[in-house]
Amino acid sequence: MGSTINTVELLASAFIWLIALLVIAAGVMFVIDRFQTADAIRRNFPVIGRFRGVFTRLGEFFRQYFYAMDREEMPFNRAQREWAYRAASGGGNTVAFGSTRNLAVPGTPIFVNAPFPPLSDQYARTEPLMIGPGTRQPFLAPSLFNISGMSFGALSRPAIEALSHGAREAGIWMNTGEGGLSEAHLDGGCDIVFQIGTAKYGVRNAQGGLSDAKLQAVAAHEQVRMFEIKLAQGAKPGKGGILPAAKITAEIAAIRGIERGKDSLSPNRHAEAGSFAELLDMIGHVRAVTGKPVGIKTVAGSEAVFREFLETIVDRGAASAPDFITLDGGEGGTGAAPMPLVDLVGMSIREALPMVADLRDEYGLRDRIRLIASGKLVNPSDVAWAMCAGADFVVSARGFMFALGCIQAMKCNRNTCPSGITSHNPHLQKGLVAEAKYLKVAAYARGVVHEVETIAHSVGVAEPRLMRRRHVRIVQANGASVPMNELRPGYSPVA
């Protein structure tokens, strides 16, 4: 009896102390909030005003898990993410009962089914495609779907390792992004596209220009199949790469040749390429030094600019052309970028790809310049649409992040990515076991290609690249769909 009373007394006094502490803490916060000048809400509503920030942060979490509908979120909705997770897990591709997709949304692609599709033994299969046939070491690229540029720095070491091994397993290429080439990239033995960013990390000389010796050293790796000169990426055209100081480890600083402790900012463009003529010089130089296919990565802003570029190529001769153009859409992702650029600069891939494909063909460069498309092309229907529009290849960054386990926490620019994909915090990286994740990367890539082949089969062609614009209808604002070949006026030879 006595000990029960003691326990009750103890609990009561602990409770009183707790209340007293809370009252004191609230009092301190009240004084701080009332007298600070930075935040009007906290100044006018001391203590209570603090809940606004907490609820705003929690709202992101609750919407994703409880309130957002399957097709609602941005940049990727749950249905898009779930498809990638399922493919990465090697799960079956069948769903039950019917589509949850609203087919009246303008822009929705509706593929045109063949009345008599080929039999199963004539199933559509992707053929390898040659890039840069005129170079000393052309690249016969096996897969139509590959990994887009993401630097070691934006991504963690285990993420790069998993991508490298997964790419090897699936027979796809991996682009280094602008952070240079590391052991982690080479680890899995996959085909690699080396990206030359505007800071030229990994191939820079003492004056900040291109080092031919370093270019040759990179090209000496048999795995490095192509070089991509980055002019722009969709999320931030006109702005160089940004790697926040918090994400610069000693290893990353050494690979890039940069200082620790401050943000690493790449120049907005290559100093030696201020015109199309200079750009062609640069492409020719890198090709001569490395002997491998060289292309550019860019974003479309207008038709006139592409015409000028293609005219410059035609004037010089087709041999001067880039071996490929990677066309990124304004909807593309990034490790870090200013919001106005992410939101509103650069044409969407849905508009830019048909335009650039038409222009390339109009200038007679269809077989000379391979077109690689990216920009939220993470599910098979997106990739199949791009093939119909005129792409030779599709690359994805965020699709492969989903395969690695990305939950779209939108924290790539901090060092706090909960899945360890973009964080260099060893504690968070523990969750990303490269030895297991690489299988997911490979399964996702195979899943996308297989489903694109399924669509190709359904429209009645033997290879996905034989899909044409007449094979897809695009839903218009009035809800009716129109064959894609009837949408862009003028020259449209692929239709």
- List own/partner pairs for 260-267 with CB under 8 A and 24 or more apart: 264/153, 264/199, 265/240, 265/241, 266/178, 266/197, 266/198, 266/199, 266/201, 266/240, 266/241, 266/242, 267/198, 267/199, 267/240
Which residue number has the CB closest to ligand FMN? 177
Site membership for ligand FMN, residue 154 (CB under 6 A): yes
Residue type, 428: L
Site membership for ligand FMN, residue 149 (CB under 6 A): yes
Interface of this chain with ligand FMN, residues 351 to 410, rule: CB under 6 A = 374-376, 378, 396-399
Site membership for ligand FMN, residue 151 (CB under 6 A): yes
Q: 150, 192, 387, 475: which one contacts ligand FMN (CB under 6 A)? A: 150
Report d(CA 495, CA 489) in Å as an integer: 11
Residues 6+ apart with CB under 8 A from 154: 177, 179, 243, 247, 335, 336, 412, 422
Interface of this chain with ligand FMN, residues 89 to 148, rule: CB under 6 A = 148
Site membership for ligand FMN, residue 233 (CB under 6 A): yes
Site membership for ligand FMN, residue 423 (CB under 6 A): no
Interface of this chain with ligand FMN, residues 181 to 210, rule: CB under 6 A = 195
Tokens at residue 401, please?
């992040």
**What separation, in Å, do the N-terminal and C-terminal C-alpha atoms of the chain show?**
91
Report d(CA 39, CA 50) in Å as an integer: 10
Interface of this chain with ligand FMN, residues 286 to 315, rule: CB under 6 A = 297
- Applying CB under 6 A, the span of 16-24, 85-93, 330-338, 424-432 interacting with ligand FMN comes to 330-338
Site membership for ligand FMN, residue 330 (CB under 6 A): no
DSSP bridge pairs for 109 = 474
Site membership for ligand FMN, residue 80 (CB under 6 A): no
- Applying CB under 6 A, the span of 18-26, 253-261, 325-333, 435-443 interacting with ligand FMN comes to 325-333
Closest contact distance (angstroms) between CB of 406 and ligand FMN is: 9
Query: Quick one: 432 or 461, whose CB is closer to ligand FMN?
Result: 432
Q: 177, 390, 405, 464: which one contacts ligand FMN (CB under 6 A)? A: 177
Alpha-carbon Rg for the chain in angstroms: 26
Q: 158, 332, 354, 460: which one contacts ligand FMN (CB under 6 A)? A: 332
Query: Quick one: 109 or 460, whose CB is closer to ligand FMN?
Result: 109
Closest contact distance (angstroms) between CB of 400 and ligand FMN is: 8
Report d(CA 384, CA 193) in Å as an integer: 23
Counting Cα atoms < 13 Å in the Cβ hemisphere of 288 gives 9
What stretches of 337-465 show up as alpha helix (H) in DSSP?
339-344, 349-362, 380-389, 398-404, 426-429, 434-459
CB 166 within 8 A of CB 445: yes
CB 461 within 8 A of CB 189: no
DSSP symbol at 410:
-
Site membership for ligand FMN, residue 33 (CB under 6 A): no
Query: Quick one: 46 or 149, whose CB is closer to ligand FMN?
Result: 149
**Contact footprint for ligand FMN (CB under 6 A):** 148-151, 154, 177-178, 195, 230, 233-234, 241, 297, 328, 332-335, 374-376, 378, 396-399, 412, 422
